[in-house]
Structure 1
Amino acid sequence: MSSSPVDYSSKCVMFPARPGYGIVGRKCLIKANHFTLQLVTTIHNYKGLYHYHVWISPQVTSMKLNRDIVKELGTLNYLGNVRVAYDGRNTIYSVGELPFSSNEFILKFPTTKTTTTTSECEFKVSIRFVSRIDLCNPQSFLHTIQPLNVALRSAPSEMYSVVGRSFYHDTMSRAGELGDGVMYWKGFYQSLRPTQLGLSLNIDVSAKAFYEPIEVTDFIFKNFNVRYNSTPLDDHVRVQLRKNLRGVKVTCRHLDDTMLFKVFGVSTEPLNNLMFDLDGNTISVVTYFQDKYEIQLEYVTWPALQVGSATKPIYLPIEVCRIVERQRCCKKLNQRQVTNLLRETCQRPYEREETIRQIFRQNNYNDQNLVRDFGINVANDMTLINARVLPPPLLLYHDTGNEATANPQLGQWNMINKKMINGGHVKSWTCVNFSHENPNIHNRFCDELVNMCISRGMAFQTAPVIPSRAWPANEIEEALKYVHDQCNMILGNKQLQLLIIILPDFSGSYGTIKRVCETELGIVSQCCRPKHAAKLNNKQYLENLSLKINTKVGGRNTVLSDALNKRIPFVSDVPTIIFGAAFTHPKPEDYSSPSIAAVVASMDWPEVTKYRALVSAQQHTEEIIQDLYKVTTDDKGSIVHGGMIRDHLIAFSRSTGAKPHRIIFYRDGVSDGQFNRVLLYEMDAIRKGTSRPAHYHVLFDENNFTADALQVLTNNLCYTYARCTKSVSIVPPAYYAHLAAIRARCYIGVAVDEEETDVGPRTYQPLQVINGNLKDVMFYV
């Protein structure tokens, strides 16, 4: 089989003109977290804006070190007393020319000591003139945003830790624990944006996870709920510890605090079995630390940290290592950490406004020398804009409940006295409990959960296929496959429908469970945290689980009244399919794993509540969905047309009995600068395939939507999100695509041997295919 890449569109596609402004809803005046900018370029000492390219050799990955190097050039007066705005990578902007058009400098610059670099390094810095930027030329409007943005970020970049477009520091506000050795810092997001009112500085609050600067032994205690009792760590704990600590920097209490080590792995053997060669003699690590540093090691049955290479391993006893402070946690947070982060950072609007104002005052932009040099003046007040509050839609539930409708208030409603509009059928299920602390909760918990599902309108078999039971947390794959096989032996030619899983007490197993269930076994699973499963009186938790289970097994929780009565403009008049697309990209420290694209599409009309998902892996950090449309050749050399769009359209026709006459496509994750590229590539692929408060841009419209029709449709869809009885700020098709993309990342395993510890690109297993049993259900919610 061979495939051809998607080409640029051969048809002329242009951004549609705005059809007008909406009038539906209650008018109001709101404050936006935008501070408008004025450019004062007429001041007598303004000398024009200049763009330079900079190279630093050897290449430096740390933007902070890059900034320190360029700052040193200014300190040494190599830049002619001209203040520059530097983006931390390859670009310098200055007001006025530098005293050269091209030059090279050699600097000896102190760097942090590590196992691989010395305390001082020589850098060659090359600077070359690129162009002069005219701020007054409307045609170069977009080009002016970048230098102004860099200038506004210059001072914060020196004061705070920079993460993307956000800034953090443990002194900005009170830090807090998230659990498992991870803490959060509060910070702020900052970006210069073009708006209808001109340029404005967008500022918002943000929070990020950092490692607690604690002893590695304490990190283990917090992560795995173990206490040292002279027994080795369980193998599954050791493997998870390697994942949690890989890439984390540590210091050692027996060495200089400036000496940093990056953890590449953990030893397969306990510390008391580790030997190495010293001056021709074999010596144990334990004896070496006793003789060399007079340290009597205690945790000798635990593994050691590996900070060397596979060929030249360097072992450090866990108990002498401490995690370096102010170190960002780039790994995916577990559910408990996410919950804690959301709870700690949730603010009411007036609290958020005051926080943003405080950030603005602290940064004092208009008094920054570089900002003044660039002729920037930032308004002191937030922008006031006209807005409208759209009316909520009427939601329908089953008429066998005491209440068959819901009128959301402030974006919320509840399931009291209501039953799901289409309750799903669960005829075969069982439960697996991996919790060590709660080994006996599964039977009572499942009884309560089944009763909740039945009370909300589902047809649910009360007895499991085989008795629910507890399993060791280090036997997850074996347990899932065993239970699946045992159930299917009893069911004969039928399949197990649902597996309820009580998760282990420690994090890190969720992805494995979903990968096994959804790619190998082909069964829907519902995971539950043990601490919630133990609280049998938590009716809200049980109700939310019932909503998810009903959706996963093919039911509907609610529908829009206007959908069933065919009163939704541009949707109800003809068969309409609604798409959503989103990406997940690898973490910043991951340079080799693929990006995951997900495309979902509605499979029911006129209800538009059920969304089928397709996922694909593509080149690392690629932003354009490559598999929307594909042309391949089969074994006989015949051309085969395919791709995600075509696959979904065929499934829609099979599900509804009608071919779609209209397509609405919500594409998430497109920045302003990518609009043209997305339109050229993806619009053409869609055409070929057919033959928070969120900000939406219309990139293409053949349906001649009115502003009201599109706004009301988007708003109403936000009330159909299946996982809760609340409206959401991201339209569900895009939200579901995001969930599907996140889920698919669980299917990509790292092909790493136990002994592999070298840094560098890792080999990833191919994206595993979703089992055919699940392709037409919303398994990902």
Structure 2
Amino acid sequence: MSDSSKEHSKSITGKLPFRPRDEPDDYMPPVRRHWLNKEVLRSANMLPDVLSIAEYDNEGFERDEPAGITLAKKVTINPREYWIKRHDPGVKVRPMDRVSYSTSGKETVVLTNAWPILAFPKKPVYQYEVNLHHNFQDEEDRRALKRAFNCKTRREKLPDAIFDGARTAWSTHYFGELYEVMKFTGGKTRMVGTRQDLHGVDVEVRFICRRKVYLNVINAWLQKKRVLDEYVIDGLNFLDHLLRHGPSQKQTVQKRAFFFNTLKDHPETSKWERDFEFGLHGGKDAYGFGPHGFATCYQGVIQMIRPCVSGLLLNVDTAHAVFWPRANLLWISRRFVEARTVNEYNFLHPTKNQKGERELSQRLLRLDDKLRRLRVTPDNYPSKFNGSYTIKRVVNQNAEEYMIDYKDGATGKVTKMSVDQYYLKRYNYELDEPQAVLVEMDRHGVVFPLECLKVEKLQRWESKLTDVETANMIKFTAKKPSHRLDMIRKCKGLLDHGHDPHLLNYGLHIGKDMIKTKARLLPNPEIQFGNGKHNPGTSGRWDLRNRKFLKANKRELSHWGIGYWSGRPGFTISGKEVEAWLETFLRIYRGHGGQVRNRPGVVMQLKTSSPEDACEDLYKATKTFYGREPQLLIIIIPSLDSWHYTRIKRCADTVYGVPSQVLQSKRVIGNSPQYSSNVSMKINAKLGGVTSRVNPSIPRRGLPPKSAIIGADVTHPSAGVLTPSLVGMCISNDINGVSYMGNGEGNGDRVEIIKEVSMRIILKPLILEWANTLGGGKYVPEKIYYFRDGVSESEYVEILNKEVPSLRRLIGECQAIINKDPDDTVWRGKILVVIANKRHHLRVWPNPKDLKAADKNGNPVPGTLIDRDVTSPHGYDFLLYSHLALQGTARPVHYKVMMDEIGLKPEELQNMIYEQCYQYIRSTTPVSVHPAIYYAHLITARARHHECFDPSDGPRSGAKVNPMTPRPPRGDPKEPKEFLMTMKGTAENRLPYTMWWI
């Protein structure tokens, strides 16, 4: 390459190519002693990268660097490393190591959906940056990069290279820089050669070596001889892309999942097609009509490499996504415009307005909007073109009307003819539906009849699913354990790792047998009610018949009211039906021990259609009748939709500060005793009662004295919604950790770590309330059990370095207030930090013949604990099944213990978490995750309806969102700002200190 070319490359990338040193094959780079978080790396990459590989002295600094900075200690370091060391605060607290394995319960053996990785490449690999010197648009750029990767120079010089689909490639061969000029079609990404009449543009393709990836550091990290530094991350990242490279070349990729395109092409797999495809209106061939009638759920596979105690493993699981059906475009269009019969096929014919001018009808306008940017390929007629097109628009003309120029290949004469005549003359194909509209492609104005196109491969369905489709998708995806295990094995066979040329070339070998591991069956707890105990065994369920609540409502229910809508279309409920349900409810609630002095003084029919006005009418009528604040408002709505429910809850929570219970008319009319019993649990909890508690199997009762459980969760809005992320937090307010109080607040724009400002707004009044009640006004909690949800693994450490210090400072502030000493702000209590995660793909299958380990569906029984073989080699984690799956294959919760200053043994902590899952206050089954986390999630969902913003800003979500609407801030503001309307607390109800979200 010429010097000018090299200078041009430098101007594009800003860096010189990496130059390797002479090193032995087993060379291992020194450890980076500082912690490289994302923010530091992002900033540090802007500095000059002198060397990616360097020798370190005992202090962890680079030495013998010609262009460096000399410190007082006479140690010369790289400027980039010096900048990182100055700006990175370092990890003050690191996750704790595993103490020991659990010995609680009985041992059993389970099968996991994981395969051992027997060997992985050890020799170094070089990482390349792929550059295109051309201004493509973002979407075109990614397609161009994929084509550029297959250029002739790369195939000759880097024949074993793999590609991530963006700008990074890897190979075992080293070249500082490779260069080639390719031709691309003007403004597009398809290379010249497929059509002779297109002209191309010259595009420079460069492969620039950026670093050397050392794979031998992975073994050192797994053996705890090395910390997780950037070299280890680079190695794991390469293995992940090596595993993905083969399937990504053949299958449809959706994030980390692969969906198979070629099942029909193989006799062995064609019979599996019905297992991998399901029309969401009832089955493969039972598609409905309308805008959603042809959405199709496909099953794919997801695979990932995970570190484990014995090395590395491959985790394989099924994945599901909704796509367009691989069907003819005319068939799809008929269903979209709801053309059910032959007489209705004219819905697809060109239309005119009242003035006689051509104008698309509303049906065709919706079809035009739906088909835009859909990729299609020729169908039915004998075309030699194997590529694809992208639909630009629907043309309001049919094949008999639309005229094109046809050039005779023999004579060269150009004549005008219609589209249907063209297909008859050129392909000897007579159109079945020449009266239907045409579609125009995005290249050169090419038009096609609908029947001559089909959807290309698998394309993601972007529209929201209807309730019917959602229900059918759940039925399709919720497979029984045995069926799911069979599908995972089929997917593993389709991936064919043993014959993948890329894996074989690099030396990545995967075992053939699934991993079996030892699990523990934890003893189930006894449930204590007000009138006795109950042992549910491993059934995972119990009922409340003849049971009394452990603790009834604190104050006798004496001033309350009921409101209901009646006489609306599609909804009829009479006053007699409401009275009948009320009789059943009073009998059931009193039978459970609920304290009710009298029937409600107000049972009124709601006249207004506005939920806010209805809530106001019921509140005022009840308050007027009793002459005091209502204790409870029950409102019966036509259907359990968000429009009624959210507005009623918003009004009751933030305007009047009254506990509210919303019921669905259909369930009230049914008047089932079980329904009334479930409603009784919720109302009892809102009024300060407790359903039950567990008698722990470990030798202590409840929590240790002066202890509190805190649960926290952060949820984010969906894409395109300009509302803040919300944090929900709750704290236990009894000695058994059954009853909680909590609140929610905004957390900025998609910020995962809880801000100190948000934590203070939520927790400060709750901790003070705890201190004034359980602490008797003398002390704050001395032991905190902090359960956190909604955190990705890359942010685990930030919980320790940001949230835990914020929590300590906050409790210290409350301590100073309780002790009336402004200087007493140092809290010296102990914290246990546990992070729960359900977003993983590990599943286990017990022996179905072992009746003590498997339920009737083949799922593990509640209390199944997995802490060996498939768990992390670093830290302290375990998988726990605490619930009974009603359908499908059960998923365990992955608990990661980050800090334990309290000093619990593994069996004490694991049994405590499992047993407290039986204390979920509104259920007669144990829940899948610790109740504190469950409550925090419910708080964020409910708090979403309390958002406080200026209505003049316009809508915050949907198609009419103004792009100029200010987004929520990311950083901590100087002045605390409340994103949510304040919960109203009255002397009568004290709503913020109750379980108002239940």
Identify if the C-alpha distance between structure 1 residues 369 and 80 changes in structure 2 by more than 3 Å, giving closer, same or farther: same
User: What residue in structure 2 maps to residue 150 of structure 1?
Assistant: 241
Contact 1:426/1:498 (<8 A) preserved: no
- For residue 757 of structure 1, report the CA deviation from its aligned partner: 3.5
Structure 2 counterpart of 1:661, from 773, 779, 782: 782
Return closer, same or farther for 1:677/1:56 CA change in 2, 3 Å cut-off.
Answer: farther
Count how many residue pairs are aligned between Structure 1 and Structure 2.
661
- Counterpart in the other structure of 1:197: 310
Task: Indicate conservation of the 8 Å contact 1:582/1:598, yes or no.
Answer: yes
Q: Residues 68-127 of structure 1: CA distance to partner in whole angstroms, max 9, x if unpaired?
A: 433211333353354554445554444434672688977447589xxxxxx999999776
Q: Closer, same or farther in 2 for the Cα pair 1:110/1:553, shift >3 Å?
A: farther
2:665 aligned with 1:552, yes or no?
no
Alpha-carbon deviations, 1:425-459, whole Å to 9, x = none? 54413133487422216614455444443333323
Identity, % of aligned positions: 21
CA distance in 1, matches of 2:762, 2:592: 35
Give the counterpart of 1:481 among 616, 621, 625.
616
Q: Residue in 2 aligned with 1:780? A: 997
Matched letter for residue 797 of structure 2: N
Distance in 1 between residues matched to 2:135 and 2:670, nearest whole Å: 57
In structure 2, the partner of 1:514 is 649
- Asked if the contact 2:153–2:179 (Cα under 8 Å) also holds between the matched residues in 1, the reply is no
SS of 1:700's partner is: strand
Q: Deviations over 1:634-664 (max 9, x none)?
A: xxxxxxxx45444432122123135312011
Q: Any unmatched runs of 5+ in structure 2? A: 1-86, 191-197, 221-225, 262-272, 283-290, 326-331, 340-364, 377-388, 395-433, 438-454, 813-890, 969-977, 986-990
Residues 377-392 of structure 1 aligned to structure 2 (within 5 Å): 377-392=509-524
CA distance in 1, matches of 2:90, 2:233: 26
| Residue of 536, 559, 576 corresponding to 1:407 | 536
Indicate the SS of the match to 2:898. Answer: coil
Q: Distance in 1 between matches of 2:317 and 2:900?
A: 32
Distance 1:55 1:682 in 2: 43
The structure with the largest alpha-carbon Rg is 2
2:705 alignment counterpart: 574
Number of the residue aligned with 1:100: 177
Q: 1:696 to 1:389 in 2, by over 3 A?
A: same
Moved more, 388-397 or 477-486: 477-486
Shift of 1:66: 6.1
Q: Is the 8 A contact 2:111 2:517 kept in 1?
A: yes
Give the alignment of 1:161-560 within 5 angstroms.
162-167=253-258, 173-177=276-280, 181=292, 184-208=297-321, 250-251=370-371, 258-259=390-391, 326-328=459-461, 341-399=473-531, 403-424=532-553, 426-427=557-558, 428-433=560-565, 436-440=569-573, 443=578, 444-460=580-596, 463-469=599-605, 475-504=610-639, 509-537=644-672, 539-560=673-694
Secondary structure of 2:710's match? strand
Decide which moves more: 621-630 or 16-25. Answer: 621-630
8 Å contact from structure 1 (residues 392, 411) kept in 2: no
Partner residue in 2 for 1:752: 954
Give the counterpart letter for 2:923 in structure 1. C
Residue of 27, 47, 52 corresponding to 2:129: 52
Listed one character per residue, the Cα deviations across residues 392-414 of structure 1 (whole Å, up to 9, x for unaligned) are 11111111xxx543434332222
Question: Measured at CA, do residues 738 and 15 of structure 1 come closer, stay the same or move farther in structure 2, by a change above 3 Å?
Answer: same
8 Å CA contact retained: 1:103, 1:128: no
Q: SS in structure 2 opposite 1:682?
A: helix
- Residue in structure 1 matching 2:144, options 60, 69, 78: 69
How far apart are 1:621 and its partner, in Å?
2.3
Q: State how far apart, in whole Å, the 2-side matches of 1:100 and 1:657 are.
A: 69
Output the amino acid matched with 1:251.
L
Displacement of 1:201 in angstroms is 2.0
How many Å separate the matches in 2 of 1:216 and 1:476?
35
Q: Deviations over 1:210-249 (max 9, x none)?
A: 6897866769xxxxxxxxxxxxxxxxxxxxxxxxx99x96
User: Which has the higher mean CA deviation after the structures are superposed, 475-484 or 119-128?
Assistant: 119-128
The alignment's TM-score, normalised by the length of structure 2, stands at 0.58
Larger mean CA deviation between 648-657 and 428-437 belongs to 428-437
Per-residue deviation, residues 116-146 of structure 1 (Å, max 9, x unmatched)? xxx9999997765332111112343333222
Partners of 1:329 and 1:26 lie apart in 2 by: 48
Greater length-normalized contact order (CA 8 Å, ≥ 6 residues apart): 1
Secondary structure (helix, strand or coil) at the match of 2:791 reads: coil
> Tell me, what secondary structure is at the counterpart of 1:453?
helix
RMSD: 4.5
CA apart distance, 1:699: 1.1
CA distance in 2, matches of 1:120, 1:775: 69
The separation in 1 between residues aligned to 2:200 and 2:618, in whole angstroms, is 58
> What amino acid sits opposite 1:71 in the alignment?
K
Task: Identify the residue that residue 39 of structure 1 maps to in structure 2.
Answer: 119
Deviation at residue 477 of structure 1 after TM alignment = 3.0
**What letter matches 2:244 in structure 1?**
R
Question: Given that residues 561 and 630 in structure 2 are in contact (C-alpha distance below 8 angstroms), is that contact kept between their aligned partners in structure 1?
Answer: no
Counterpart-to-counterpart distance in 1, 2:307 and 2:581: 53
The SS at the match of 1:79 is: helix
Tell me if 1:684 matches 2:886: no
Q: Structure 1 CA distance, aligned partners of 2:715 and 2:154?
A: 41
Report the AA paired with residue 75 of structure 1: N
1:15 to 81, 86, 95: 95
Secondary structure, aligned partner of 1:699:
strand
CA distance in 1, matches of 2:279, 2:585: 34
Shift of 1:756: 7.2
Residue 767 (structure 2) pairs with residue 649 (structure 1): yes
- CA drift at 1:687: 2.0
Displacement of 1:712: 0.9
Paired with 2:914 and 2:755, the residues of 1 have a C-alpha distance of 29
CA separation in 2, counterparts of 1:629 and 1:476? 30
For 2:626, give the aligned amino acid: L
Displacement of 1:556: 0.9
Classify the secondary structure of the residue corresponding to 1:413: coil
AA of the residue aligned to 1:250: K
SS in 1 for 2:938: helix
Distance apart, 1:672 and its partner CA = 2.6
Secondary structure of 2:116's counterpart equals: strand
How far has the Cα of 1:677 moved from its partner?
A: 2.0
C-alpha distance in 2, partners of 1:764/1:747? Answer: 17
Question: Is 1:706 matched up with 2:905?
Answer: yes
Bigger mean CA deviation after superposition, 415-424 or 724-733? 415-424
Name the counterpart of 2:716: 585
The 8 Å contact of residues 563 and 636 in structure 2, kept in 1 or not, is answered as yes
- State the shift of 1:56 in Å: 9.4
Structure 1 gap segments, 5+ residues each = 1-6, 113-118, 220-244, 263-292, 297-322, 631-641
Residue identity matched to 2:945: C
Q: Distance in 2 between matches of 1:176 and 1:540?
A: 35
Residue 919 of structure 2 is aligned with which of 705, 720, 727?
A: 720
Contact kept? 2:633, 2:659, Cα under 8 Å: yes
Q: Assess, with a 3 A threshold, how the Cα gap between structure 1 residues 379 and 477 changes in structure 2: closer, same or farther.
A: farther
- Corresponding residue to 1:616 among 745, 753, 762: 745
Contact in 1 for aligned 2:277/2:296 (Cα 8 Å) = no
Contact 1:721–1:732 under 8 Å retained in 2: yes
Please report how far the alpha carbon of residue 37 of structure 1 lies from its aligned counterpart in structure 2 after TM superposition.
1.7
